[in-house]
Chains A and B, each alone.
Chain A
Amino acid sequence: MALMPKRVKHRKVQRGRIKGNATRGNTVSFGEFGLQAIHGGYVNATTIEACRVAANQYIRGEGRLFIRIFPSKPMTARPLETRMGTGKGEPDHWVAVVKPGTVMFEIAGASKESARDCFNRVAHKLPLGVRMVERRPGA
């Protein structure tokens, strides 16, 4: 089941803008390797779930996956074949707002080769440019 918040303050929110680079969540903190976004964008909750399934199928029993993003932004949509107007659409799905530099997934306890292959599969599901990063020296 895709991720989504348990409680929210408002059902609908404004779109906003994705400005600048990530100043938080931009380092590998839990595992040894991470998948870092190099572009900004929205990642759908179902996409995160697809990434989780793909990664876990690959690293099964060899390592542990950490998901560092959460889809907390509701996106609305209008029903098909309806005319414009009559206000904003109804909540349709949830997305995570990702800024360039955000470490979206991390892997612990796996070899570098396994982590690279795993992230390669995950990257194919993502709508953003990504790259694999390691822990910073001394961190």
Chain B
Amino acid sequence: MRIEVVGVSRQFGEFKALKDVSLTIQSGELVALLGPSGSGKTTLLRVIAGLDWADAGDIKFDGVSASTRSVGERHVGFVFQHYALFRHMTVFDNVAFGLRVRPRKERYSNAEIEARVNELLQLVQIDWLADRMPAQLSGGQRQRVALARALAIEPRVLLLDEPFGALDAKVRKELRRWLRRLHEQLGMTSVFVTHDQEEALELADRVVVMNKGRIEQIDTPGQLYDNPSTPFVSRFLGDSNELDCHVAAGSVLLPGLDTSALPRVSVPNGPAKLYARPHDIAISAAEDGEACVRFISAVGANIRIEAELPDGRVVELTRTREEQAEDPVAVGARVGLRLYRAQVYPAG
């Protein structure tokens, strides 16, 4: 199902949680809402679900406005951050809940409900836990129960609020891959909220980066990483060097950094801010180099180097082990730095 968010605003007292947000999510897509806390991502998810409402704007499901439909009528599967399992019900009863509260005419028979619940528990691989109470489950198991419960109503959309937020790192990675497979298997439109960029970039088809109630950029993970379109996205996604520089007639001036390989930038003359990924800066040993190596860390696939520019600013960069073997640089060595790719924005 296609979801359209049209000019949605939402205000809590003085705090503007969402400011005129518009977004289209295609049918079958897996989309991440990514942003720091307070960016409005959870509010947006709740507005889509109907758990919260928009002060202005509209939510459309397959082109039909959903604003007059209640949460229950919207038929969305919602997985809560802390799962919100019914604490006094067994796993089985939790999953069966959505089927049992249906109006009598649409309700399945008990046998059908049982079959359906067992099928769902198998799908999320916890059929052996059917008689347990939520308090007896681990975080990862609760997550699966929450998901099975949401899927029981055969939703057309699956919305997940920080689905991995309350899990430890190892379980998180495992569940992430599993969720991705499940999404592909079920083929329903899914939206999840996260503050973890790694999670968003690895899992989602497209990522919506949010900040202070606005959408900063919507793109595929690769595009977002390579071509961030705002200073916020540059800073927020991945590691970046943030450097003050000057722009004159489309070229970037930054003492100590060779910027001749950069394409011309369309930023007005004057002070500007430049963001460069550590792997987009090349380093080479040079007797007359203007920069100086301050720190080297050789742990991991890449060598991490901190180099100091003539004015004392420190630039972080990485090079492969092969590069380091071919042209070794050591702490204290004079080096030349060359910039291959960067984002430049007018200062201020």
Co-assembled chains A and B = no
